[in-house]
Amino acid sequence: MVFITEELVRKRAEHNELEIGSLEELSLHQFDIEKIEHIDKWCKQLKILYLHSNIIFKIENISRMKNLEYINLTLNCIEVIEGFEGCESLNKLDLTANFIGDLRHLKNLQKNLYLKTLYLTGNVCCNYEYYSEYVITILPQIKELDGESITKSARLEAKLIFEKAKNAIERQSELYVEVREQQKFDYQHKKKTTGDEFWNEVDEDSPENRRDMRIEATRQKEEKNDHTPMFEKPDYKREIRYFAKDGRALNVNPSGVEFTIDEDQPRDVELRLKIPKFMDTQLIDIDSQPTYIRLSINGKPFQIVWRNEVKPDDGTAQRSKITGELLIKIPKLYPTKEKHKLVRTR
């Protein structure tokens, strides 16, 4: 388990001369952090917080951050929307690709009057009947849901069928809770495995499995580095799964390739990957699809699912001669309107 320590936060505050008290932007993504703590006490001026690609189960210790404008919790293990009551300035919340299936907790965001942008893409709840109608009625303050602007007519239509939508959402949420209880029971009684056996059986269909996948990947990496001079332990041959059992494309990054993604531009999506400067470009293969993009980087698999459908045939890829960074830019199939962006360019 990785903890949020003062040393870690200061290390990530190099752009602010290691000063954390006046820090306005903090990135703690891809650290396998399981618990949010201390940030609300150490970084009271924080406006932007990146916590994506960790294994956080609960949103906590955030409510005192009155200056927080944007928080990214993409690709964690979160099931309940909570803990934002005191975030008076919260403008944008990204909960993409978590495990939110009980939408009844959505009312916890009603006090966040300045919340304008909400992302729930990739959660179970997005497949519910009347999902969008329920969300935009329960949260009348938001202007954009899952990358789509909310029109006046859509909001009016949602209000007219709200009781019907509310009943449907409550029923589907209750069914999800029942499914989760069974998942938890099965998980507790499941045989614990490692190596090939683990990867051949596991499927990222629950918060517990996602956490175990991250822990097992870390364990194997540490075990590989912990060999003795007498012999080298054999690598596990992991079977990479690019799709869930129901056909959904999955986010895949077992080697921990560093990347940033920007899907808030009106016309294009941008993916930046940190590639070793002297790696031959011929070692990079790209397979671009309308809903996801897959790469092989010197044999290492990488796949990211887009929030919005793109035009894969019109995309471009370019490497920096100075840093080796790979920039992939692909136009959206349905361009969106220009909007205020809180993400800053370093």
Reply yes or no on whether the pLDDT at 125 is more than 90.
Answer: yes
Residue type, 307: R
The reported pLDDT for the residue numbered 341 is: 45
The reported pLDDT for the residue numbered 237 is: 56
As given in the structure block, the two tokens for residue 145 are 């849901």
Answer yes or no: is 179 within a domain: no
Above pLDDT 70, what percent of the chain?
92
The set of residues, in sequence order, having a beta carbon less than 8 Å from that of 295 and lying 6+ positions away, is 273, 284, 285, 286, 287, 301, 302, 303
How far apart, in whole angstroms, are the C-alpha atoms of residue 137 and residue 204? 31
Can you tell me whether residue 269 is helix, strand or coil? strand
Answer yes or no: is 324 within a domain: yes
Answer yes or no: is 257 within a domain: yes
As given in the structure block, the two tokens for residue 211 are 């956490």
The set of residues, in sequence order, having a beta carbon less than 8 Å from that of 98 and lying 6+ positions away, is 73, 74, 75, 76, 77, 78, 79, 122, 123
Reply yes or no on whether the pLDDT at 233 is more than 90.
Answer: no
As a whole number, the mean pLDDT across the chain is 89
The reported pLDDT for the residue numbered 336 is: 77
Does 221 or 290 have the greater pLDDT score? 290
pTM for the model: 0.69
Does 268 or 343 have the greater pLDDT score? 268
Answer yes or no: is 300 within a domain: yes
Closest CA to 318 of 278, 287, 273: 273
The reported pLDDT for the residue numbered 345 is: 38
For 313-332, how does the pLDDT look when each residue is reduced to its tens digit (9 = 90+)?
A: 889 999 987 888 999 999 99
CATH code of the domain covering residue 318: 2.60.40.790
Answer yes or no: is 279 within a domain: yes
Answer yes or no: is 314 within a domain: yes
The reported pLDDT for the residue numbered 339 is: 52
As given in the structure block, the two tokens for residue 77 are 């293990």
Answer yes or no: is 325 within a domain: yes
Reply yes or no on whether the pLDDT at 292 is more than 80.
Answer: yes
How far apart, in whole angstroms, are the C-alpha atoms of residue 118 and residue 95? 8
**DSSP3 helix / strand / coil % (the chain, rounded to 5):** 30, 20, 50
Grade residue 228 by pLDDT with cuts at 50, 70 and 90.
very low
The reported pLDDT for the residue numbered 15 is: 78
Alpha-carbon distances, residue 241 vs 253, 294, 308 (angstroms)? 11, 12, 22
**Order of strands, edge to edge, in the sheet holding 259-262?**
259-262, 268-273, 326-331, 316-319
Grade residue 232 by pLDDT with cuts at 50, 70 and 90.
low
How far does Cα 165 stand from its chain's mean position? 27
Lowest-pLDDT range of 6-15, 28-37, 86-95: 6-15
Q: Which domain holds residue 313?
A: 244-346
The owner of tokens 């269909």 is: 205
For 166-217, how does the pLDDT look when each residue is reduced to its tens digit (9 = 90+)?
A: 999 999 999 999 999 999 999 998 888 887 777 777 666 799 999 998 888 8
Judge contact between 145 and 154, C-beta under 8 A. Answer: no
Answer yes or no: is 124 within a domain: no
For 50-97, how does the pLDDT look when each residue is reduced to its tens digit (9 = 90+)?
A: 999 999 999 999 999 999 999 999 999 999 999 999 999 999 999 999
Secondary element (H or E) of residue 92: strand 92-94
For 239-282, how does the pLDDT look when each residue is reduced to its tens digit (9 = 90+)?
A: 788 888 878 889 999 888 889 999 888 899 999 999 887 677 87
Q: How many domains does the chain have?
A: 1
The reported pLDDT for the residue numbered 338 is: 58
User: What average pLDDT score do residues 297-320 get?
Assistant: 90
The reported pLDDT for the residue numbered 241 is: 86
